[in-house]
Amino acid sequence: MVIELILGGARSGKSRYTQQRAILLASDKDCQVVYVATAQKTDSEMASRIERHQQDRPATWQVEEVPLALGEWFQQAEQLPEQVILVDCLTLWLNNQLYHFPKQNFEALFEQLIKQLVASKHHILLVANEVGLGVIPIGEVSRRFVDLAGWLNQAMATSADSVTFIVAGLPMPLKESL
């Protein structure tokens, strides 16, 4: 089990970097890549973003759409042979959770997901947005989202074997224990 967390802002190059990393790892391990997509087509702009991601990734990858039940999906994925699993992205998964289940215990949700990730036999690449570098947003829901995203990223970084921050397409290693 290896967990790599790749963080960055919007259009930082984090997805491209992570896809390249997945291709390299799958080649080295002689295994397949499973791409776990968390985005949902909520409007035409999001549909365009999803389409761009679909065009950018290899057609040979297995794609799983998991907008909400990520922990449960990882529990079921333990039945698969060892794979490279790329989750893009944790921030959209969090957004989906906040939209559908705003009153849930997010700390418990994060702990449950991390428990599943740490128990996994797969090499896991997690993409997440660093949303807390800008101004404090106007509106209670937006501030709550930024806070939850920060806490999720901190919890993932603590459990991850490596953490890389992408800025302008350039990887900056923050934690290396591979």
Domain ranges in the chain are: 2-172
Is 93 or 135 the better-scoring residue by pLDDT? 93
Quickly name the fold that domain 2-172 has.
Answer: Rossmann fold (3.40.50)
Residue 170 pLDDT greater than 90, yes or no: yes
Active site residues: 53
Max CA separation in the chain (angstroms): 48
β-pair partners for 162: 4, 176
Average pLDDT, the chain: 93
Give the pLDDT band of residue 166 (cuts 50, 70, 90): very high
Give the pLDDT band of residue 178 (cuts 50, 70, 90): low
Residue 41 pLDDT greater than 90, yes or no: no
**pTM higher than the cut 0.85:** yes
> DSSP class of residue 168?
T
**Gap between the Cα atoms of 19 and 1, Å rounded:** 19
